[in-house]
Structure 1
Amino acid sequence: MAHDPHPAPTAPTGRGTPWVVLVAVALGTMMEALDGTVVAVANPVIAVDLDTELTSLQWVTNGYMLAVASALITAGKLGDRYGHKKTFLVGMAGFATSSVLAGLSDSIGLLVFWRVLQGISGALLAPSGLAVLKTAFPKDKLKVAIGVWSGVGALAMAAGPFIGGVTVDLLGWRWVFFVNVVVCAAALALGAWAISGVRPEGAGRSFDTPGVALLTGALFAFVWGIIHVPGHGWTHPYPLLSFAAALLLAAAFVLREHKAAQALLPLSLFRLRAVSTGTAALLIGGFATFGASFYLALYLQQVHGFSPMRAGLGLLPFTVLFGVGAPTGAALNQRFGPRVPLAAGLTLIAVALLGLSRVTEDSSYHALWPFLLPLGVGMGMVAPTAIEMIVGSAPGHLAGVASGLQQTALMLGGVLGTAALGSVISAKVSGVLAGHLADAGVGEPLAAKLRGATEVVAQGVVPVPDGTARPLAEAAARAGHAAFMDGFHVAMLAGLAVVVAGALISLLAPRLEAAPAARAGEAATTH
């Protein structure tokens, strides 16, 4: 029988059992996931303390996201080249160091700089951690390990708003970053002891530096364009030029990969159905769920008046149930193969989006949370299944690249969903706002002012000037919120259409994981 010419090690040579290795990797994942949500809660306090405007403050988040999205696949290749244990530990140490320096920042510029370095460190940490699991666990246990790993990340994300709120209230915003050091110290100590120090199969190979530059540039330009869509629209020169640059760099990258002796991301990897369908499922799942949750948070805060912490707690059913769906999806994947959890998970997401499209500005939270349950469980089933498909099917010498690929797909899906659904909301608000203002009896000049602020109303904010008579202000708020909800409904239905397409694509997934012979043949095409 044919065999994989680049087999992954089947047993760890470190001192820890596979489950101890999982704990070390999960701690690193928890640190990264926790950091994203706690910073969101701290942003208003950071703005006051560092005396900064919203346009600068948003780069505390956007700078981190740009760095992670641009570096993930390259970081995975570094792990394949220099060793995943070493890359994982360097990533954790870098994350902790940049967290301390971010917490010590006395200006918004320094804070953004250290957040970018934190993002690069997170990119080093994430794919190598997943590749370490592939090395540590036998094939029949890998699905369960990835399910647990995904669940830990979701639960950390869910706890972020609460932990961030308590930390900021008791200790100040700087401790949001300092707290990373505690988790990192435990992960570093355990990881250094438990993780196998297997010599990487690609240690003697050349490094595709032109491919790294082209892919990093393409991802950077694409995410940069997406970041500017909400504020400028799809037709503004900023996003248009960014997308054009991304397209040109991506085309150059494809040409380069066809010619490179040791390609950064061998395109033949996508001929594996498990890899291509898994990537599509993650992209579509991220598009729908993260896009929906972003505008759900705006709905809770702007329409219902929830505080940021209360809105985060209101979304707990989504994030906590993600943690329940992850091991469920892993178990179904192990028992039936990937088609069942992928199709079932995407169907649950579709049901959730259909239900959310019926929520109104007057709906109570009790009418909302039942739809957060299938949203969380559904994405929890999709994510670990798709991740295992990509990482488990890739040849051993591409484990890091495959890990970076799956996380890049999930992140790009999230940022694309946020921008695309936001554009749908904005377009609908532009078309219906005038009618809602007229129906509410809001006359000129207030109506004219609000019609000129559709981009703001599309975020659920109704900018009524101070001093406006209370009855008129309330009427304007009702009209603006009604327009926002009209856009929200259309956006949820648009997301539903994308998810239905994803459910059909998931049927192309292999019934069972690819046979070793198929992987061997696929690996041979990369040389």
Structure 2
Amino acid sequence: MLLKSAAGRGTLAATVLASGMAILDGTVVNVALPHLGKDLHAGLDGLQWTVNGYALTLAAFVLLGGALGDRYGRRQVFLIGVVWFTLASVLCGVSVSIGMLIAARILQGIGAALLVPGSLAIIQSVFDPDERGKAIGAWSGLGGIAIAAGPFVGGWLIDTLGWRWVFYINVPLAVLTVVLTLVYTPETRSPEARARFDVPGALLTAVCLGSTTYALIEGNLPAGLLGIVAGVAFLYVERRSTAPMLPLHLFRSREFSVINGVTLFVYAAVYGVAFFLPVFLQVSAGYSALAAGLSLLPFTLVLLFFSSRAGALGHRLGPRIPLTVGPVISAAGCLLLIGAGESYWLRVLPGVLVLGVGMTTLVAPLTAGVLAAAPDRFAGVASGINNAVSRAAGLLSVAALPALAGLSVGSYTNAVAFASGYRIAMAFCAGLMVCGGLTAGVLLRSGPSKAAA
């Protein structure tokens, strides 16, 4: 398939729309938290579960979703994921209680776990080899534009139509995605795909992450112990499985292990900022939903326009320098955001820009480094593992940071109390960034990665 053909353009549009929906619902919902919390009479723990319910099932099942597509057909599983995600979005929009919303968000995450890996796998499998690079580049660029537009669209919908439209907007996008996929996208499968799937591994991952998250949010010790037991059982199952979801032998590579460790620290901080900043700006600084949504737009634009140059530099230098310097710069951005307040240009934008520069420095070298550290035949698995690590980091961060910041269930409705907790949380985020930089600086080897060589 050629990118310039009608089928190529239609397939690319379908994959961009679908992945854009999943990404937006993982970020724009943060802007809606104060509004939906007030409407559904939710406490801070309810807001945490609104974010983490989605992240939990997406992180737990994204690797399984990719394997199902390889085995049963990438287009088929992709379409199931889009329809599932959309129906769950409608359930989110009609929710009459915070419990119903959380349950619908959990279902949304399962749909996202089916469509997210399928979107890129379809591009990889249907386009001619000479066209794949262009198609992936276009997919990345158009996806970046969708992410950049998300805060504006989400904030506008919340201010004009209400928070429920953050979910309803997925319906027309999904209808267009389904039509384009059915008309233009051929079915593909992997002849090497195994008939067996690591369902026990996926379920144990969900139990481990879910129990740990519950323990951190609710302060429940038995749930924490269950999470530990499930984590140990997961490692045992993966070690003995003939088709493991997580091939443990990949972690024999020092570089692979260290870069995933850096990922854990860095993305825990990033998700923490993304959770706290929009809520703080609305609750404590008096911003509208639109203004709060737009507050992180410069961060996204810096990533969008300069990541390719940072990736080229990291390709020449190797991952150690970017993964050491980038988190330290990002930590400075988090510290600047401690002083965020009513004046966006003086007290918010500087921190957002510095954070964006730091993340731009490290994101592309991190992705390239983790792929270079794995054998070529495990490139897809390595990418999936790194993606799951970043999502799990965000899940645990949103669960733990409010308690570490001393915030109670009703704190987000109190401007003074939330402001105090927000500043503590930003300090923790800065500390996590520094830990990521130190991990890379001390444990990674100098010089170009295997990919550069």
Q: Could you say whether these structures have the same fold, taking a TM-score greater than 0.5 normalized by the shorter chain as the test?
A: yes
Distance 1:488 1:215 in 2: 27
Contact 1:288/1:417 (<8 A) preserved: yes
Aligned residue pairs, count: 452
Among 61, 67, 78, which residue is 2:68 paired with?
78
The DSSP-based 3-state class of the residue aligned with 1:306 is coil
Distance in 2, Cα, partners of 1:169 & 1:349: 31
Q: Given that residues 3 and 127 in structure 2 are in contact (C-alpha distance below 8 angstroms), is that contact kept between their aligned partners in structure 1?
A: no
1:301-380 to structure 2, matched below 5 A, reads 301-333=282-314, 337-339=318-320, 341-356=322-337, 359=339, 365-380=345-360
Tell me the equivalent position of 2:243.
Answer: 262
Deviation at 1:406, TM superposition (A): 2.3
Structure 1 residue 305 displacement after superposition: 2.7
**Displacement after TM superposition at 1:286 (Å):** 0.6
The residue that corresponds to 2:222 in the other structure is 241
Q: Distance in 1 between matches of 2:278 and 2:151?
A: 12
- Which position in structure 1 is the counterpart of 2:206? 216
Q: Distance in 2 between matches of 1:489 and 1:101?
A: 33
The Cα shift of 1:147 comes to 6.8
Q: Structure 1 residue 253 and structure 2 residue 234: aligned?
A: yes
Shift of 1:284: 2.2
Q: Which letter maps to 2:74?
A: H
> Equivalents in 1 of 2:368, 2:78: separation in Å?
19
Query: Per the alignment, do residues 288 and 155 of structure 1 end up closer, same or farther by CA in structure 2, a change over 3 Å counting?
Result: farther
Counterparts of 2:387 and 2:346, CA distance in 1: 33
Which residue of the partner structure matches residue 281 of structure 1?
A: 262
Conserved in 2, the CA contact under 8 Å of 1:212 and 1:264?
Answer: yes
Give the distance between the partners of 2:362 and 2:243, measured in 1 at CA. Answer: 32
Give per-residue Cα distances to partners, 1:469-501, cap 9 Å, x unaligned: xxxxxxxx5xx6885576356435423432322
Query: Which deviations, in whole Å up to 9, do the C-alpha atoms of 1:208-234 show, x marking residues without a partner?
Result: 3333332332232233334x1xxx5xx
Structure 1 position 93, deviation (Å): 2.4
1:122 is displaced (CA, Å) by 0.6
| Counterpart Cα distance in 1 of 2:435 and 2:387 | 20
Paired residues for 1:155-234 under 5 Å: 155-192=145-182, 197-226=187-216, 228=217, 232=218
3-state SS, counterpart of residue 511 of structure 1: coil
2:450 is equivalent to residue 461 of structure 1 = no
Structure 1 residues 195 and 155 mapped into 2: Cα distance closer, same or farther (>3 Å)? same
Partner Cα separation in structure 2 for residue 274 and residue 20 of structure 1: 39
Aligned counterpart in structure 2 of residue 119 of structure 1, from 109, 113, 117: 109
TM-score by structure 2 length?
0.81
Aligned counterparts of 2:185 and 2:258: Cα–Cα separation in 1: 30
d(CA) in 1 for partners of 2:7 and 2:281? Answer: 44
Partner of 2:431: 494
Unmatched tracts of structure 1, length 5 or more: 1-10, 427-453, 463-476, 517-527
Quick one: structure 1 residues 515 and 501, their matched pair in 2 at CA, closer, same or farther if it must change by over 3 Å?
Answer: closer
SS in 1 for 2:286: coil
Are the counterparts in 1 of residues 310 and 360 from structure 2 also a CA contact under 8 Å?
A: yes
Partner Cα distance (1:108, 1:395) in 2: 45
Instruction: Say which is worse superposed, 83-92 or 185-194, in terms of deviation.
Output: 185-194
Aligned to 2:397: 417
Q: Take 2:240 and 2:292, find their aligned partners in 1: how far apart are those partners? A: 50
Report if the CA contact (8 A) 1:15-1:194 is conserved: no
| 1:277–1:508 Cα contact (<8 Å) kept | no
* CA shift digits 1:69-109 (9 cap, x unpaired): 22223223323433434332321222223223443455555
Report what 1:504 is aligned to.
Answer: 441
| Correspondence 1:389-428 to 2 at 5 A | 389-390=369-370, 401-426=381-406
Provide the C-alpha distance between the structure 2 equivalents of 1:423 and 1:413, rounded to a whole number of angstroms. 16
TM-score when normalising by structure 1 = 0.71
Structure 1 residue 33 corresponds to structure 2 residue 14:
no
2:190 aligned counterpart, secondary structure: coil
Going from structure 1 to structure 2, the CA distance change for 1:171 and 1:420 (only over 3 Å counts) comes to closer
- Contact between 2:34 and 2:283, CA under 8 Å: does it hold in 1? no
Matching residue's letter, 1:283: L
CA distance in 2, matches of 1:298, 1:328: 32
Distance 1:178 1:280 in 2: 37
RMSD: 4.1
1:446 aligned residue:
none
Structure having the higher Rg: 1
Deviations along 1:348-385, one digit per CA (max 9) or x if unpaired, are 3133235445x376976414312211312332443344
